Chain A
């Protein structure tokens, strides 16, 4: 071994010590002496292991083992006992990620909220007023209405000075604020924000139940987060439905497009890694060399926001090579039956050529099926046919048994090719001008028509005999996209070809996992429609292993029916108030005042001028007054008072008052104090640290706090016509910001009252996701420590305090609720042909429920709210429970629940959190086979087809089952995929296999949309729309080096070290990353700005300022920086040199931009449902200047 001397010493030594030495002197073998390892044995020992999970918005829904020793949570590790998915594929164990593994750090961390806190200034003001006035409500009224006092506590928001208060006092102030607001301004001036019920259903439901029972508005989140792919309701008539991750295994070809699966779907990523071994080819499309690219066979790096062009070019290749050059029977057979491609569209003459107009309907042919029955040609006869399955057959007697996709022998004609052709003008947005393309036409019933398929070929520039296609550099050839995306044309063509060929070969098992990288853009719906065209044309939707897999905030609350009944108090009162979050924040944070552009920035070159001269706020107001989208606060009057005035026919009264101008919509004067939101409760959420696009506008206008907004308000010529513009924009609209949390966040720092919440290891609750097929439980490993309480306990305490005060001040009141036209109800028949008639423009009196919201009066016994919270109400037996248009008779379940939970005043008890969990499970088809089977029977009567055998009728999942082990759910008509016989969940398999229509106009998947506003935007067909031009719209500097630094595109993708803001302050995650806010940039951009790795930089644009450290990396493309999403202002954020304020968060540089077409309602699949359709809070189109700042930072 060593030298001779040491050998000699060793030889000597072996006689001096116990044990045997190997002949080569290398090893010494000894026995015994193991006591010294006691430390590690002791460290490993524990008293119990408890199953729980993490109620965080990641869609993971992982089951965890929480280790407890001496009553202290020590650490966690993943459960590995998921039921098998069949043995023919990888199992789900062990789901988890580093963030979840770091969770227990929070339990005893110095950022744990242990006691109720309130802003000291406010508490002093309140106590003084109450002592003087002797009354909580009067005290609250005075503090919030005295301008000096109001400004005193509002301007202190976010500036420290929190003091501990008791739970009793906190609840009293909260109750007083609610009572005062309801009495003075109306219940719709109260709002609740809590996202993603699936991540902890009971915790969500209990608060939403309180807000709903008092008449407050619950704010949507899925659209607000920009996670809702509006293309989904547009194309599928569905919110979002996606495959579970074990179904990735079934895919033969997989594209990860704008989705960084290892980071954002960490527990599921293994299915992608493993499916490659089965011969799956993986293509990653991302602007940077990301964590997913490591797994790719090929990596394509399109410039950010140009994915639509790439997808359109792929569509061009597929249409040309698999439809036109040769027919692919698998594809044509699919699109004829399951898409709108064979349906006829009327052409309208315009300026010497034609433009595509409306779907031809039975009404156009004078046939009785009417304006919602779309028409196609039968290839056998050439005659027009009204096939089953369109919206005309969904409601009413005429459709009974005909709402199905059975073609009954008809062979839909895909193309009108043969007879005649005309030129159509089609919009383009990548450059000036319009495209002129030939389409074959027929004349049907006197109408000039073509098929959607023919229009698609024209749109994609695919040439056919005698019909001109695109020249090489025109849309949508691969060469054309190369100039836009930077991806070689040849590569795009080859991948498109492989994707389609693989689909053909595998029977539709080509899949696209699409993520926030493509979904958070202003024009994401257009991008998505171009991507969805790829999976639909190739027959992949509704096939295991195929189709779209949208994974952006799509968390699936599998027991949705039960959750919805309880969360919105539908067992006691209907309807609830449900508001589109984006519009709410857009108005109430006054971001609308900073729109320096006209709404027609989205208009098509072929537009009729509907948006011309309008501001987006005008269109929002129009959408509200037509009943398209909800609008809360609704009127410029307290809805309690309005109900009292309205008399016996409230709908007529309100319509008349509005028509004559005596009653206005609040959204037409959002800055009037009477129309401000007054009380906002945030729980299970971090609005200001995470989702608040335009964070600085929130601070300035909603809260009245300091803010770094630098933008100018719109000049007079850009201001809305129909929305009041007070010269001075209000600051500090909100009277009370209440948050419940277990850690300090950017929201709690700005809250007036912070309540200490129990963590996920300290309560009972339920979790589910669409990434796996199980429901499972949260279980307390310890009791809530210090003065923390579960959300359940907190809201019950608030409700009791509220009810006590309400007895005196409110009593029982009537409340006039305005309800928008709803999807999956006959409301969606309100706008035939999607033709917009604004009663106001036409000077007409509106008809509630048709071109105006429905008006419903609800009676609220305010003193009884706490009691109603704690028991299941009687409306369920009377009205049943409705999900997606299907009503379930749950009367049998009420008895069962009474037995399981016990009763309160004869009603099933909901007095404990476990009761609430039990009720959610009992009232949902996915967890109660009896309801699932009943739902399928009901559905079968409408469709005239059978769904027998899909539901496991005799299985009922109890809360105890979910506590023992994750439980697979039951196939139910609440969702579109079959999980029967142990099959993996993929969306729309029930539609495809059981000929159940999609919830759309044609009953098929739509390539074509014919609403007036969609035409106005030039988006009737899939089309490429580039990112917004921030220079043109807002005067931001052009991309590239500038005197101030370097101007770059600013993206905020999801982070590796946090789930939104959760964990970004966690010491373990901070230690594994760079310990605070960072901005990633390329070496080239760093050089332009003189920035070195880890240098402090400032990023600035009109919306605000961010201070962060630079991460310089060659995996970043030039011209784009990343500031990973939800890096908050709580940790290591110094003061900005530019603003002088604390240096901002990722959303300090973003703001809301509302796309008008998202406001459409009342027409087929373009109808509102909560979190289903609405304007998105997109934030990807932004630019910023990055400059190196002084390296001396000051906190």
Chain B
């Protein structure tokens, strides 16, 4: 056992209002400069939708992440090191600027400088790449709130069931994304220069700006497309987990500015020696469990001893024990990883969202007058469970259903307390929890005190 510490994040999608404050504060702090105009270390996508860059989840096209080779061993999907070497000067497996979007500005100056003329002055759009006037046709968030036709969504296409994108059955939710700071980062493995590294003390994945040679293999290797190429400096850049902040005890910009109060940051401990094995389980649907299996119980004396042996300080172990991430993944069991099938062991986890029931069900009497029934009507929700499962559990609907049941049970259980009635622990037990656990989970999810979120 080689115990290592990892900073991880959980985002509660059920609370995400899709406001993009995280994106803006992150961009203002880190990437509002020449060379990174198109770069959003943090972005928010409406689901269903194509995402940013367009269709990044289509690994048949982009070949990001890992796969198992014929011998059952992990290999970069885009090809091993030899292939990297052979394609180093012409790597076709990379989104073009048009797949991200062509950044632009406007001729704002015309608003002042226009001489007396026949028409009201206007600032027309102009490309920041070519400097020429342009018609805007794609952006970092083009399909926000179901704008346009979301059917090219690669996740939607993987669903076995037919999802009709029509008014009566409309559904959507938001997916904020940063770098996953994976335990098994394919970007690091893809870099021919050894410029990408994972910090040993907290697992943050960074690009060494001095060593980066701009080969962009990391861009290909990352299935989440969260490594970007700065076209001014010719180097790769990515989300740094705000290390200059977290090192001094301040949460990341995206977390602290999250108006939905849906982000949690905490430390988890994992066994570095078991990562490769866990990432190599044959069945994709076992990856979620395998990934959980790599994470260690910070209260286990054996783990504590091993951690101390690795030089992890005691206050870090305290932090691991207090970690909201550990509680959300294990004790409450409501957090799921994004696309475990990429086999990178992502360390940004998500609580899947509830959604309104579909009207047609209300008409059939499926959902009665009792609000309690409603909170249990998991399979009647608008967001198809299959869709969530394709995002979080490699298509296995059961873990998603279990999470949604727990959220619904919490609501039912707490409603009784809200109305001054006696607690009904059978509601908690029905989802494998105690009343005290439900109340503790409620505190973390609903009250979400600052000091307990981070």
- Whether chain B is bound by chain A comes out as yes
Kindly state the separation between the CA atoms of A120 and B113 in the bound complex, as whole angstroms: 12
Kindly state the separation between the CA atoms of A261 and B30 in the bound complex, as whole angstroms: 29
Contact with A along B201-229 (1 / 0, CB 8 A): 00000101111000000000000000000
Which residues in A have their C-beta under 8 angstroms from that of B253?
A: 77
Contact A1195/B167 with A278-B415, A506-B419, A1113-B146 known, Cβ cut-off 8 Å: no
CB distance from B452 to the nearest CB of A (A): 11
Kindly state the separation between the CA atoms of A30 and B200 in the bound complex, as whole angstroms: 8
**A284 contacts the other chain (Cβ, under 8 Å)?**
yes
**Contact at A90–B122, with CB atoms within 8 Å?**
no
Contact with A along B335-359 (1 / 0, CB 8 A): 0000000000000000001111101
**Contact at A1073–B139, with CB atoms within 8 Å?**
yes
**Contact at A1129–B136, with CB atoms within 8 Å?**
no
Contact with A along B177-218 (1 / 0, CB 8 A): 000000010000100001001101000001011110000000
Of the listed stretches B55-63, B86-94, B256-264, B317-325, name the one at the interface; the rest are far from the partner chain.
B256-264
Which residues in B have their C-beta under 8 angstroms from that of A43?
A: 29-30, 244
**Contact at B18–A90, with CB atoms within 8 Å?**
no
Kindly state the separation between the CA atoms of A74 and B120 in the bound complex, as whole angstroms: 32
**Contact at B412–A279, with CB atoms within 8 Å?**
yes
Which listed residue, B105, B117, B359, B412, touches A160 by the CB 8 Å rule?
A: B117
**Contact at B123–A1131, with CB atoms within 8 Å?**
yes
Which listed residue, B32, B144, B260, B369, touches A497 by the CB 8 Å rule?
A: B369
**Contact at B442–A1131, with CB atoms within 8 Å?**
no
Kindly identify, within residues 75 to 109 of chain B, every residue whose CB is under 8 Å from any CB belonging to chain A.
Answer: 75-76, 80-82, 103-106, 108-109
Contact A40/B14 with A159-B120, A277-B445 known, Cβ cut-off 8 Å: no
**A577 contacts the other chain (Cβ, under 8 Å)?**
no
Which listed residue, B80, B125, B197, B410, touches A1075 by the CB 8 Å rule?
A: B125
**Contact at A78–B75, with CB atoms within 8 Å?**
no
Kindly state the separation between the CA atoms of A158 and B121 in the bound complex, as whole angstroms: 8
How many interface residues does chain B have, given as a range?
35 or more
**A455 contacts the other chain (Cβ, under 8 Å)?**
no
Kindly state the separation between the CA atoms of A113 and B111 in the bound complex, as whole angstroms: 10
**Contact at A109–B14, with CB atoms within 8 Å?**
no
**Contact at B114–A160, with CB atoms within 8 Å?**
yes
Kindly state the separation between the CA atoms of A156 and B115 in the bound complex, as whole angstroms: 11
**A95 contacts the other chain (Cβ, under 8 Å)?**
yes
Which residues in B have their C-beta under 8 angstroms from that of A75?
A: 25, 28-29, 32
**Contact at A281–B104, with CB atoms within 8 Å?**
no
**Contact at B106–A1067, with CB atoms within 8 Å?**
yes
Contact A1115/B23 with A3-B80, A266-B259, A1131-B123 known, Cβ cut-off 8 Å: no
**Contact at A277–B414, with CB atoms within 8 Å?**
yes
Most buried by B among A1, A162, A1094: A1
**B316 contacts the other chain (Cβ, under 8 Å)?**
no
Kindly state the separation between the CA atoms of A296 and B359 in the bound complex, as whole angstroms: 12
**Contact at B259–A289, with CB atoms within 8 Å?**
no
**B379 contacts the other chain (Cβ, under 8 Å)?**
no
Query: From B79, which residue of chain A is reached at the shortest CB distance?
Result: A2
CB distance from B242 to the nearest CB of A (A): 8
Which residues in B have their C-beta under 8 angstroms from that of A663?
A: none
CB distance from A760 to the nearest CB of B (A): 16
Which residues in A have their C-beta under 8 angstroms from that of B76?
A: 2
Which residues in A have their C-beta under 8 angstroms from that of B80?
A: 1-3, 6
Query: From B240, which residue of chain A is reached at the shortest CB distance?
Result: A40
Which residues in B have their C-beta under 8 angstroms from that of A895?
A: none
Kindly state the separation between the CA atoms of A80 and B251 in the bound complex, as whole angstroms: 12
CB distance from A500 to the nearest CB of B (A): 12
Which residues in B have their C-beta under 8 angstroms from that of A1076?
A: 125, 136
Kindly identify, within residues 376 to 418 of chain B, every residue whose CB is under 8 Å from any CB belonging to chain A.
Answer: 407, 410-418
**Contact at A1112–B148, with CB atoms within 8 Å?**
yes
Query: From B149, which residue of chain A is reached at the shortest CB distance?
Result: A1093
Query: From B114, which residue of chain A is reached at the shortest CB distance?
Result: A160
**B19 contacts the other chain (Cβ, under 8 Å)?**
yes
Which residues in A have their C-beta under 8 angstroms from that of B273?
A: 22-24
**A121 contacts the other chain (Cβ, under 8 Å)?**
yes
**Contact at A94–B259, with CB atoms within 8 Å?**
yes
**A786 contacts the other chain (Cβ, under 8 Å)?**
no
Which residues in B have their C-beta under 8 angstroms from that of A192?
A: none
**Contact at B369–A278, with CB atoms within 8 Å?**
no
Q: How many residues of A contact B (CB 8 A)?
A: 134
**B332 contacts the other chain (Cβ, under 8 Å)?**
no
**Contact at A3–B369, with CB atoms within 8 Å?**
no
**A419 contacts the other chain (Cβ, under 8 Å)?**
no
Which residues in B have their C-beta under 8 angstroms from that of A497?
A: 369
Which residues in B have their C-beta under 8 angstroms from that of A105?
A: 28
Kindly state the separation between the CA atoms of A101 and B42 in the bound complex, as whole angstroms: 14
Query: From B74, which residue of chain A is reached at the shortest CB distance?
Result: A1
Most buried by B among A87, A1114, A1131: A1114
**Contact at B105–A1114, with CB atoms within 8 Å?**
no
Kindly state the separation between the CA atoms of A866 and B389 in the bound complex, as whole angstroms: 69
Which residues in B have their C-beta under 8 angstroms from that of A273?
A: 14-15, 17, 260
Which residues in A have their C-beta under 8 angstroms from that of B167?
A: 289, 301, 1082, 1114-1118
Kindly state the separation between the CA atoms of A1135 and B122 in the bound complex, as whole angstroms: 10
Contact with B along A275-290 (1 / 0, CB 8 A): 1111111001000011
**Contact at B27–A1068, with CB atoms within 8 Å?**
yes
Kindly state the separation between the CA atoms of A665 and B260 in the bound complex, as whole angstroms: 54
Which residues in A have their C-beta under 8 angstroms from that of B165?
A: 1114
**A104 contacts the other chain (Cβ, under 8 Å)?**
yes
**B289 contacts the other chain (Cβ, under 8 Å)?**
no
**Contact at B170–A744, with CB atoms within 8 Å?**
no
**Contact at A5–B116, with CB atoms within 8 Å?**
no
**A96 contacts the other chain (Cβ, under 8 Å)?**
yes
**Contact at A98–B256, with CB atoms within 8 Å?**
no
**A97 contacts the other chain (Cβ, under 8 Å)?**
yes
Which listed residue, B2, B172, B371, touches A281 by the CB 8 Å rule?
A: B371
**A291 contacts the other chain (Cβ, under 8 Å)?**
yes
**Contact at B121–A749, with CB atoms within 8 Å?**
yes
Which residues in A have their C-beta under 8 angstroms from that of B145?
A: 290-291, 1056, 1113, 1115
Which residues in A have their C-beta under 8 angstroms from that of B147?
A: 1074, 1080, 1093, 1111-1113
Which residues in A have their C-beta under 8 angstroms from that of B172?
A: 289, 294, 1115
**B249 contacts the other chain (Cβ, under 8 Å)?**
no
Query: From B407, which residue of chain A is reached at the shortest CB distance?
Result: A277
Query: From A272, which residue of chain B is reached at the shortest CB distance?
Result: B17
Which residues in A have their C-beta under 8 angstroms from that of B135?
A: 1193
**Contact at B122–A1130, with CB atoms within 8 Å?**
yes
CB distance from A157 to the nearest CB of B (A): 9
**B437 contacts the other chain (Cβ, under 8 Å)?**
no
Contact A269/B25 with A111-B111, A161-B117, A277-B411 known, Cβ cut-off 8 Å: no
**B374 contacts the other chain (Cβ, under 8 Å)?**
yes
**Contact at A1073–B144, with CB atoms within 8 Å?**
yes
**Contact at B15–A274, with CB atoms within 8 Å?**
yes
Kindly state the separation between the CA atoms of A275 and B446 in the bound complex, as whole angstroms: 7
Of the listed stretches A343-351, A358-366, A486-494, A948-956, name the one at the interface; the rest are far from the partner chain.
A486-494
Kindly state the separation between the CA atoms of A950 and B133 in the bound complex, as whole angstroms: 62
**Contact at B139–A270, with CB atoms within 8 Å?**
no
Cross-chain pairs A/B with CB under 8 angstroms, 15 sampled:
A2-B73, A26-B184, A87-B447, A162-B114, A269-B260, A270-B15, A273-B15, A274-B446, A297-B375, A490-B362, A505-B419, A1065-B123, A1072-B139, A1074-B147, A1115-B167
Q: Rank and list the top 9 A-B pairs by shortest CB-CB distance, nearest first.
A: A279-B415, A161-B116, A160-B114, A2-B80, A262-B17, A1075-B136, A110-B108, A75-B28, A289-B170
Given contacts A44-B242, A266-B19, A502-B371, 16 further A-B contacts (CB under 8 A): A36-B211, A37-B209, A95-B259, A105-B28, A252-B419, A273-B260, A284-B356, A291-B145, A297-B375, A749-B111, A1068-B27, A1072-B23, A1074-B142, A1082-B167, A1093-B147, A1114-B170
Chain B contact residues, CB within 8 Å of chain A: 2, 14-15, 17-21, 23-25, 27-30, 32, 69, 73-76, 80-82, 103-106, 108-109, 111-112, 114-125, 135-137, 139-142, 144-149, 165-167, 170-174, 184, 189, 194, 197-198, 200, 206, 208-211, 240, 242-245, 253, 256-261, 272-273, 275-276, 353-357, 359, 362-363, 369, 371, 374-375, 407, 410-419, 442, 445-450
